[in-house]
Amino acid sequence: MRIVAGSAKGVRLAPVPDGTRPLADRAREGLFSSLGDAIRDAAVLDLFAGTGAVGIEALSRGAERAVLVDSGAKAVRTARENLDRTRLSDRAGVLRMDALKAVQSDIGEFDVVFLDPPYGLPESALQAILGEIAARGVVVKGGLVVVTRPIKSSIPVIPVDWSPDRRLSYGDAVVLIYMA
């Protein structure tokens, strides 16, 4: 895996820890091309960060700051190593905690929230996280929430004040983009 574009373009990332399914380079490239200028100067939250590739890609492409959250110790170590490799550590924080607990905490307000949960995560758990993001104002009005799911899964029910923006498909993944 590598960073696709921006200030850290081409930087190879640390090996993916066991049990982590990162978003493929091609899917990340397509996603960020689709998001365009929405990333520039944005505050980004990367839930289920794994290697940190999505949050780091956002920083590389001009996001102001990022918070990367994962519950796995190996994933957190890998995300920190990748921030060091890309020399973007000064604009990011990495938290080891459950995604739901993170959004229930005083984590802050973000312009873009990425969720790339394990494909086995129950829909009810995803619904709970999306509900908390909306209820607690984790994403700003007009901000984006990006959810990655397996192509054959059902589309999550979204909070009433969000609207579907785009749907992108890459291999076995579908990327759903919502506007808050």
Task: Say yes or no: domain 25-179 is CATH 3.40.50.150.
Answer: yes
In whole angstroms, what is the distance from residue 39 CA to residue 30 CA?
14
In whole angstroms, what is the distance from residue 168 CA to residue 40 CA?
21
pLDDT value of residue 156 = 82
Give pLDDT tens digits for 112-169.
Answer: 999 999 988 999 999 999 999 999 999 999 999 999 998 888 788 888 899 999 999 9
Which amino acid appears at position 136 of this protein?
Answer: R
The answer for residues whose C-beta is within 8 angstroms of residue 67's C-beta and 6 or more apart is 44, 45, 46, 55, 92, 93, 94, 95, 107, 108, 110
The residue extents of the domains of the chain are 25-179
Average pLDDT over the chain, rounded to an integer: 93
Q: Which two tokens stand for residue 18?
A: 């066991």
> Residue 8: which pLDDT band, with cuts at 50, 70 and 90?
very high
pTM of the predicted protein model: 0.94
> Residue 47: which pLDDT band, with cuts at 50, 70 and 90?
very high
Average pLDDT of span 44-54 = 96
Give pLDDT tens digits for 56-84.
Answer: 999 999 999 999 999 999 999 999 999 99
Give pLDDT tens digits for 87-112.
Answer: 999 999 999 999 999 999 989 999 99
